[in-house]
Amino acid sequence: MQKLQCQRQLHGYSIDRHSDLDRYFNINSANGSIITLKPLDREESAWHNITIIATETITENSRQSSRVPVHIKVLDVNDNAPEFPMVYETFVCENAKAGQLIQTVSAVDQDSPPSGSKFFFSLTPEAANNPNFTVQDNEDNTAGILTRRGGFSRQELNTYLLPVFISDKEHPIQSSTNTLLIRVCACDSDGTMQSCNTEAIILPPGLSTGALIAILLCIIILLVIVVLFAAMRKQRKKEPLIISKEDIRDNIVSYNDEGGGEEDTQAFDISTLRNPEVIEDTQLRRDIKPENFLLPRPTPPIPDNTDVRDFINQRLKENDTDPSAPPYDSLATYAYEGNGSIAESLSSLESVTTEPDQDYDYLSDWGPRFKKLSDMYGGDDSDRDS
């Protein structure tokens, strides 16, 4: 951008960083060429004032330096788009007619072209056929917003959004789209706005917002009083659990001890609670192992049957040693079949072999009722064979 030279041989160039805290520039220490390190924006800062330090060597141990202020001007380019200078509060009356002017808008541009700014206004291409509003360019950097129809209603739609396209003539051309908010309001015959709130359509005339707030507060207070009154009546209806003054619950003692089941029967003999008149001396306790006490002997002596006694003792021993056997107070059945009888077999099949040895003559002595049997079995064998 600029080259500094001195008549005498210089040691080098540098920039005083106190004058360039943001480090926008740098300098070639050999030839003094100043270059930019960051993009420059004229709208942020149109001038930059920096200090260049030139140093020369006189002797080996002696140096001299001088400071030179350098003023850098940033030239303007068209890098900003035009836009609305403010937020417009635009409204249209419900009784507006077609072609009526409702707002005049303008634009500003941060760029400063030599011949002045020139702006163009129009609707965006997608809103070119808007049935409600249109934009008329006045060719003096302003534009008028006009209605295309009459008769707007807040009940149908209370706000409209109108996109306005603004561009300039500089190179390169910059443009932007700005949205205009249009509210539908109630106006008098002269076009003076009266109300733009949609709530005013439903409310009866003469009722202000403060009156509505007061009414709502009164309703809320009444509801709270009703709820409290109902809660108090419900509490009064509840009867106390104990009517008397003395709380009998003080005399109740709870014992949550749980017994040990069958194991605690040895600590207390339930037989003491039984009627002594019906207690049999010969009854045995069924909660104690049978081998822990002696079996009572019956008064009449029972014939000694070694076979049956050995069988029962063997079954008792098997149940005592079996861990899966039922408890001692359970009923155990021991089925036993005796040995063969001394009468041997009484089967009629074997009697056939001994039939010839039998004598049935005595049947004739039993009378006429046994005559048939006497004829069948009595007499000689030759008579029966015939």
326 & 360 share domain: no
Contact 182, 89 (CB under 8 A): no
Residue 323 lies in a domain: yes
Residue 156 has pLDDT above 70, yes or no: yes
**At 227, which helix (H) or strand (E)?**
helix 209-237
**Both tokens assigned to 370:** 């046994």
165 & 191 share domain: yes
Q: Which tens digits make up the pLDDT trace of 372-385? A: 887 887 665 555 55
Q: How far apart are CA 100 and CA 149, in angstroms?
A: 9
Residue 6 has pLDDT above 50, yes or no: no
130 & 181 share domain: yes
User: Helix or strand or coil: residue 156?
Assistant: coil
Q: Which tens digits make up the pLDDT trace of 86-132? A: 999 999 999 899 999 999 999 988 776 655 678 999 999 999 899 99
Write the CB contacts of 370 (distance below 8 Å, at least 6 apart in sequence): 363, 364
**Both tokens assigned to 336:** 């036993």
Residue 250 lies in a domain: no
In the chain, DSSP assigns E strands to 10-15, 25-27, 34-36, 47-59, 62-73, 90-93, 101-106, 119-123, 133-137, 142-147, 159-168, 175-187, 193-195
**Both tokens assigned to 157:** 């739609």
Residue 257 lies in a domain: no
Q: How far apart are CA 297 and CA 308, in angstroms?
A: 17
Residue 231 lies in a domain: no
Q: Which tens digits make up the pLDDT trace of 53-67? A: 988 877 667 788 889
φ/ψ (deg, to 5) at 99: 80, 15
138 & 43 share domain: no
122 & 184 share domain: yes
Q: Residue 210 corresponds to which amino acid?
A: G
30 & 110 share domain: no
pLDDT over 70, % of the chain: 63
Which residue among 151, 176, 200 closes a domain? 200
**Both tokens assigned to 257:** 């001890």
The mean pLDDT value for 333-358 works out to: 58
Please name the residue that has the structure tokens 């207390």.
Answer: 268
In 188-336, DSSP assigns E strands to 193-195
363 & 306 share domain: no
Q: Which tens digits make up the pLDDT trace of 193-203? A: 888 875 544 44
Residue 346 has pLDDT above 80, yes or no: no
**Arithmetic mean of pLDDT over the chain:** 76
Q: What is the pLDDT of residue 203?
A: 45
Which residue among 47, 73, 99 closes a domain? 73
**Both tokens assigned to 203:** 């409310």
63 & 161 share domain: no
Please name the residue that has the structure tokens 């072999």.
Answer: 353
Query: The CATH number of the domain where 181 resides is what?
Result: 2.60.40.60
Residue 222 lies in a domain: no
- Choose among 175, 171, 195: nearest CA to 184: 195
192 & 95 share domain: yes
Number of domains the chain is built from: 4
Residue 105 lies in a domain: yes
Which residue among 170, 200, 230 closes a domain? 200
Residue 220 lies in a domain: no
Residue 238 lies in a domain: no
Residue 187 has pLDDT above 80, yes or no: yes
Which domain covers residue 366, as residue numbers? 350-385
Q: What is the pLDDT of residue 261?
A: 59
39 & 19 share domain: yes
